[in-house]
A and B are shown apart, each in its own frame.
Chain A
Amino acid sequence: KNEVEQSPQNLTAQEGEFITINCSYSVGISALHWLQQHPGGGIVSLFMLSSGKKKHGRLIATINIQEKHSSLHITASHPRDSAVYICAVSYSYNTDKLIFGTGTRLQVFP
């Protein structure tokens, strides 16, 4: 069982829909990261957060430390948002290591 669980594994949406991707983890963390991997394979860091909420354009990331849960939201989704979204955490007991989820594959259709 992966220490970082993402849901859903696969997600399809129509253009314009509001998207939510979830990430849960098992113990206290020092930081949580959201990454995006496009079909070409490149990986881009979207957010790093340890509390609260961050927003960048149409992307919003939230984290609930008590519930050990984070969500990535995409408002007004667009086909160019089609990618794999990856959650990763660094645990408080060992900040020298990132643990990655297996990713959520999002496809947005026109």
Chain B
Amino acid sequence: DAGITQSPRHKVTETGTPVTLRCHQTENHRYMYWYRQDPGHGLRLIHYSYGVKDTDKGEVSDGYSVSRSKTEDFLLTLESATSSQTSVYFCAISDSQGFGNQPQHFGDGTRLSIL
């Protein structure tokens, strides 16, 4: 299995609080992604990174920011959490120049509830 660790695995917090989710990889893969998964929707890309300090927005990036200061770590931050951000968040990695053409390896997910 690809070495991907997400933390925390579960979190409950209140509206308006900041939240940071961490994705850590031991594979030295260049590409890292954050997705959210909600009932009735496919996985949706929030942000992705193609190298240290290189990030770009996905289709549902509003309300989220990311940082990648080291190859192995990709952080997702909700600056002021809202109930609409209650979801399951997945991190994925890929060793690819165009990430559609290589398999993505997923973390176990973080279940985030915002009350």
* A contacts, CB < 8 Å to B: 2, 4, 30-31, 33, 35, 40-45, 48, 50, 86, 88-91, 95-103
Contacts and interface: CB of A to CB of B under 8 A. Distances in A.
Nearest to A4: B42
A71 B106 CA distance: 22
Contacts of A41: 88, 108-109, 111
Contacts of A4: 42
Contacts, number: 67
Interface of B: 40-45, 56, 58-59, 88, 90, 92, 98-106, 108-109, 111
20 contacts: A2-B42, A4-B42, A30-B98, A30-B101, A31-B101, A33-B103, A40-B108, A41-B111, A48-B102, A88-B42, A90-B98, A90-B99, A95-B99, A95-B100, A96-B99, A97-B100, A98-B99, A98-B104, A101-B42, A102-B40
Contacts of A103: 42
B31 to A, nearest CB: 9
B109 A42 contact: yes
Contacts of B56: 96
Contacts of A31: 100-101
A98 B105 CA distance: 13
Contacts of A44: 106
A31 to B, nearest CB: 5
Closest 7 CB pairs of A and B: A90-B100, A100-B42, A95-B98, A43-B106, A45-B103, A95-B100, A100-B43
B115 to A, nearest CB: 21
